[in-house]
Amino acid sequence: MIHRTRIVLAGALAAVLLAPAPALASAAPPDSGAPFTMAREQGHALDCTGERNGVHVAVQLYENSAFGAHASMAVQTADAEYVGGGETEAGLFHDGTVWHRLVVEPQDETAGAAQTAVVSGSYAPAGPRRRVDEVHEEPMGPVVVKGWNTPLAAAVTVRVLGQEVDLTCGDAFAFDLRVWRFDSTGS
């Protein structure tokens, strides 16, 4: 079950993170005559998993200057699965540290009560920044993205269900992007 939940959460994270479209080799900003708006988007993203004593955890943390912060977590034991997260008013990433408390709800009535989970750790740049140059489609039209992703090294743990689980972050990066979207308001 955690694999299904993880796939859904990872798919949502990938969509939010503007995963590159491999068929499109280069992105060009829309010409000045087209009804597009440009926004600068800066932030961080971590996608991490870990296991300790039969407690499997998957965590996604995402913070974007234009769209806010989002945290998602799935926890699985031999007996139950818990999920939680969503939009958060509080920032997730603070000058090299990450911290967030959230409630994970049981997905089965026999699993017991909701549990509090705490994600904490640190992150730092871990290599040269990579150029982002892509185009993808959204329901309102094409989106052009240009800027930079900087890989991050992250040391993150989760305290949940009486365990402290060390996580490995497969995707961890900071981003600084200019994003052009179709302006449906006509302004």
187 lies in a domain? Answer: no
96 lies in a domain? Answer: yes
pLDDT, one tens digit per residue, over 127-178 is 999 999 999 998 888 999 999 999 999 999 999 999 999 999 999 999 999 9
119 lies in a domain? Answer: yes
117 lies in a domain? Answer: yes
Between the alpha carbon of residue 18 and those of residues 41, 81, 179, 183, the distances in Å are 11, 29, 10, 18
pLDDT, one tens digit per residue, over 36-58 is 899 999 999 999 999 999 999 99
pLDDT, one tens digit per residue, over 59-105 is 999 999 999 999 999 999 999 999 999 998 878 999 999 999 999 99
Domain coverage including residue 159? 2-182
Which pLDDT belongs to residue 85? 94
100 lies in a domain? Answer: yes
Q: Who wins on pLDDT, 28 or 45?
A: 45
Which pLDDT belongs to residue 30? 56
Band (pLDDT 50/70/90 cuts) for residue 183 is confident
Can you tell me the distance from the alpha carbon of 19 to that of 71, in angstroms, rounded to the nearest whole number?
18
Q: Which residues contact 68 (CB under 8 A, 6 or more apart)?
A: 87, 88, 89
Can you tell me the distance from the alpha carbon of 39 to that of 54, in angstroms, rounded to the nearest whole number?
44
Can you tell me the distance from the alpha carbon of 28 to that of 8, in angstroms, rounded to the nearest whole number?
31
**What is the pLDDT of the chain when averaged over all its residues?**
85
Q: Which two tokens stand for residue 135?
A: 């185009």
DSSP letter at 9?
H
Question: Are residues 175 and 43 in contact, defined by beta-carbon separation less than 8 angstroms?
Answer: yes
User: What region does 92 belong to: left with phi over 0, alpha with psi -120 to 50, or beta?
Assistant: alpha
DSSP letter at 24?
-
Q: How many domains does the chain have?
A: 1
Question: Are residues 115 and 145 in contact, defined by beta-carbon separation less than 8 angstroms?
Answer: no
115 lies in a domain? Answer: yes
